[in-house]
Amino acid sequence: MQPNRTKYALLGFLSRGESSAYRLQETIAGSVANFWRENDGRVYPILAKMEAEGLVTAREEATGGRKAKIHTITDAGLAALDEWLAEDPVPRPPRNELLLKMFFGYRRDPATLDGWLKDKITESDADLARFAKVRSRLEGMLSDVPDAAYWLMTLDYGERRAAFEKDWASACRERLKDPSRGEEA
């Protein structure tokens, strides 16, 4: 019924190199957190399932004194990944709790909404600052890792999104200041 996208995300990262579940999560959180997250309670069981399906193999290894279960993608795993990548992505309009609350905003005082919007702006600024660092890192590795060109495209998305959300929140704050005013160009 529902496609297990977590599986494919994990396969994608494992296609770049073997990893423990713990490191996988760290990698995901450190690279695609902008548009994709996974959590503890799912990565471990799904990796186990993938092992049963023959998409990955696992071995225990002591790296630096610590034991970790290293997962390696198999040919079947690579095939499954590429099969998934061949399919058109299905757009799923996400739920946005801030917008839902704004939609019913007339039930609250404008100061409350202004607070939400200020938070949004702060969040966007933090994202933009973070993305700027990532951008210079990625641009620096472009000659060594051509794949980074694709990562830059997803980063570009994040930067544009943060910028537009900031602009939108600022525009809303302006409009809230003067509720009598309608829309303008």
Partner DNA sequence: GGACTCATGTAAATGGTTACATGATTCA
Partner DNA sequence: TGAATCATGTAACCATTTACATGAGTCC
What is the binding site for DNA (CB under 7 A)?
1-6, 20-23, 37-42, 44-45, 47-48, 63-69, 92, 95
- Closest contact distance (angstroms) between CB of 36 and DNA is 9
- Closest contact distance (angstroms) between CB of 28 and DNA is 11
Q: What is the x/- site pattern for its own copies, positions 140-179, by CB under 8 A?
A: --x---xx-xxxxxx-xx--xx-xx--xx--xx--x---x
- Closest contact distance (angstroms) between CB of 111 and DNA is 27
Residue 52's Cβ-count burial label (10 Å; 0-12, 13-18, 19+) is exposed
18: contact with its own copies by CB under 8 A: no
119: contact with its own copies by CB under 8 A: yes
Instruction: Give 129-138 contacts, CB < 8 A, sequence gap 24+.
Output: 131/34, 131/155, 131/158, 131/159, 131/162, 135/159
- Closest contact distance (angstroms) between CB of 175 and DNA is 29
9: contact with its own copies by CB under 8 A: yes
Nearest to 47 by CA among 26, 75, 24, 17: 24
Rounded (10°) angle between helices 148-177 and 110-141:
160
Q: What, of DNA, its own copies, none, does residue 44 touch, CB below 5 to 8 Å by kind?
A: DNA
- Residue type at position 54: G
Q: Which residues bind its own copies (CB under 8 A)?
A: 5, 8-9, 12, 15, 31-37, 81-82, 85-86, 88-108, 112, 115-116, 119, 123, 135, 139, 142, 146-147, 149-154, 156-157, 160-161, 163-164, 167-168, 171-172, 175, 179, 182-183
